[in-house]
Amino acid sequence: MLRYLIYSLRIRRVEYRIAELPIFLIPVLLTVTGTAAFRSAAFWEGLLIFLFLFAYGDLLNCLADRDLDAVYKPHLTEAVYGLGTHQVILQAAFSAAAALGLAAHLSWLLDRWVLLPMVVAGLLVGAAYSLEPVRLKGRGLWQLVFYWPGLFTGPMLFAAMLFSPWPPAEVIAVAAAYGMMQTGVLLVNTAEDFPEDREMGVNTVILALGLRRGIESGVFLTIGGATGLVAVFLWIIYNRHLPSWTQAALLPLATSGLVVSVSLGRLLSRMTSGGGTEEHMVREVKASGRWVPAWITSLALSTLAVAAAIWWATR
């Protein structure tokens, strides 16, 4: 029983939740005022939908990549085969059914029926990322499309619509900039698996662009997203006539954005040095890849801190 629980948690990639929860909380904090919203069914059922959807995507990804992960992520392969593929499918089906059931209830409760088709779309996109015949993960630039609107911006807009018939313009801008920024960092994570993906015939966005152009794209997206995010937050603070202390909350985000952007820029510089051979570039990317979780988490938490400061000053 304990092994079953450990394996089930492992393939849900719970270690990523600390960086994923801000995706839900940031738009909520920018949309609601006061504390009543955090006691509502919309908040708690919406949060459960969010967790079920991300678990669904992780389960299908581990299932689809169980053989690909055998060499470099054997703990995931062990968990899939330890549970059995049928059990993983059942768990994914349960997550999908739970998300749909909660979405149907919230759509009825809030009289906001757009929520249900949004969850259906999330389930379809989550499956399309990992499973054939679509498998966006192996469709070149389509993987980039999944990262930006599918993994970040779309879920953020859904969270805002739990409390508003349509996301405010400022929330849409934050979601777009945040998705752009984090997508840039994720390209480094994708590049880390470049040789293995090529060997297995998985045409990721990095294979489509090439290692150097892939990291160049990551640098561009991260810098553009971080700069845009700070600018949007400054606009929100000015537009809402918030006290000047809220601007100080931008310092951790600006610092994190600068550190990550400089780190990616240095990675690109190191890749082009030493002759720029593929072996050299792969080695540099893998050396930097270990920092990706810290980069994503620092950007997520510092963005959440700004949203929390704005909510506190607005309530």
Are residue 61 and residue 128 in the same domain, yes or no? yes
Provide the pLDDT for residue 275: 67
Q: Which helix (H) or strand (E) holds 181?
A: helix 169-192
Provide the pLDDT for residue 139: 83
Nearest-10 crossing angle of helices 74-83, 85-110: 90
pTM for this model (two decimals): 0.93
Is 235 a member of any domain?
A: yes
Phi, psi (deg, nearest 5) at residue 36: -60, -35
Burial of 106: CB neighbours in 10 Å, binned 0-12, 13-18, 19+: buried
The parent domain of residue 72 ranges over 1-16+40-134
Q: Which helix (H) or strand (E) holds 119?
A: helix 115-130
Are residue 101 and residue 236 in the same domain, yes or no? no
Question: 96, 114, 88: which is closest to 51 by C-alpha?
Answer: 96
Mean pLDDT per 10-residue interval, the chain, length 315 residues: 83 85 97 92 96 93 81 81 90 96 96 95 92 83 86 95 94 97 93 80 86 92 97 96 93 96 92 78 85 94 97 91
Question: 124, 136, 146: which is closest to 203 by C-alpha?
Answer: 136
- In angstroms, how far is CA 148 from the centroid of its own chain? 8
Are residue 126 and residue 173 in the same domain, yes or no? no
Are residue 175 and residue 97 in the same domain, yes or no? no
User: How many structural domains are present in the chain?
Assistant: 2
The residue out of 134, 154, 177 marking a domain boundary is: 134
Are residue 109 and residue 180 in the same domain, yes or no? no
Is 151 a member of any domain?
A: no
Provide the pLDDT for residue 93: 96
Provide the pLDDT for residue 233: 97
Is 222 a member of any domain?
A: yes
Provide the pLDDT for residue 5: 86
Are residue 10 and residue 118 in the same domain, yes or no? yes
Provide the pLDDT for residue 145: 84
Provide the pLDDT for residue 157: 96
